[in-house]
Amino acid sequence: MKRSGNRSPLGEIITKTSPHPSTRCHFRIKVLDLDGQLDDLEENCLPSESPNYERCIATSNIKKKRREIAVGDSLLRGTGGPICRPDPSHREVCCLPGARVQNITERLPALIQPSDCYPLLILQAGSDEIEKRRVKAIKRDFRALGQVIDRAGAQGEFCSVPLVAEENDERNRRTHTINKWLKGWHHRQNFGFFDHGEIFTAPALLVPNGIHLSVKGETFLAHELAELVERALN
């Protein structure tokens, strides 16, 4: 697939959608995040400033096509073809190698435009920081990401952080902790949650270091996410 779009220090947009007319917004829905009360004060120190979007509710009989955007860390490398091929004019994959959840949050304003009406976001995040940062800090960043998605009036579908080769016990322990929390948090916040399970612990889907995906693993993930997009739209 020919790549296009603007490059950034964090990565590149693999394929970019074309602008399209949208329905005028008539309502503003505010979402209150009460989940932060479950942890200590440090957990609640979320960014106080973020783009002020409005959720679009269609009031026209003309059905508008929604944009679908998959955005995440290095796991999305090589997934653009299967995800975007069914509708390249309205689908986009943004891979940010090495990105933390916070970096993805910062990138969203450039991906979601105020004119977009209820876009679908597929989020694959956390893998590039699971061993480097405290679990509390990662939770805090996911909450901040969730707030931006709510303000954008988007449908958020989060994917679990994949488990890796079994010998990496400490990484998998932290991954289990984050995924268990993510599943409960997503339910409370009305986000979708897709659990990869243990499929990526299979040797054939990983490179020799037991952490990063092989070409076969990238292909498998791409088809999983493409199917997730179709289910989320139906």
| Domain CATH number, residue 162 | 3.40.50.1110
Residue 2 domain flag: no
Residue 1 domain flag: no
User: Is residue 199 packed enough to be buried (19+ CB in 10 Å), middle (13-18) or exposed (0-12)?
Assistant: middle
- 215: domain range? 7-233
Q: How many domains, in total, are found in the chain?
A: 1
HEC string of the chain equals: CCCCCCEECCEEEEECCCCCCCCCCCCCCCCCCCHHHHCCHHHHCCCCCCCCCCCCCCCCCCCCCCCEEEEECHHHCCCHHHHHCCCCCCEEEEECCCCCHHHHHHHHHHHCCCCCCCCEEEEECCCCCCCCCCHHHHHHHHHHHHHHHHHCCCEEEEECCCCCCCCCHHHHHHHHHHHHHHHHHHHHHCCEEECCCCHHHCHHHECCCCCCECHHHHHHHHHHHHHHHHHHHC
pLDDT reported for residue 63: 57
Contact 35, 188 (CB under 8 A): yes
Q: How far apart are CA 26 and CA 195, in angstroms?
A: 35
The distance from CA 56 to its chain's CA centroid, rounded to whole angstroms, is 20
pLDDT reported for residue 114: 73
Q: Are strands 155-159 and 120-124 parallel, antiparallel or unpaired?
A: parallel
Contact 104, 70 (CB under 8 A): no
pLDDT reported for residue 70: 96
pLDDT reported for residue 38: 47
* Per-block mean pLDDT, blocks of 10 residues, the chain (234 long): 43 41 34 44 43 43 76 93 90 94 95 85 94 94 96 94 81 94 93 92 85 90 93 85
pLDDT reported for residue 166: 67
Residue 64 domain flag: yes
pTM > 0.85 = no
Tell whether the torsion through CA atoms of 223, 228, 229 and 234 is positive or negative. Answer: positive
Residue 37 domain flag: yes
pLDDT reported for residue 14: 41
Residue 39 domain flag: yes
pLDDT reported for residue 17: 39
Q: How far apart are CA 160 and CA 144, in angstroms?
A: 17
Contact 6, 13 (CB under 8 A): yes
Q: Token match 């901040």: residue?
A: 144
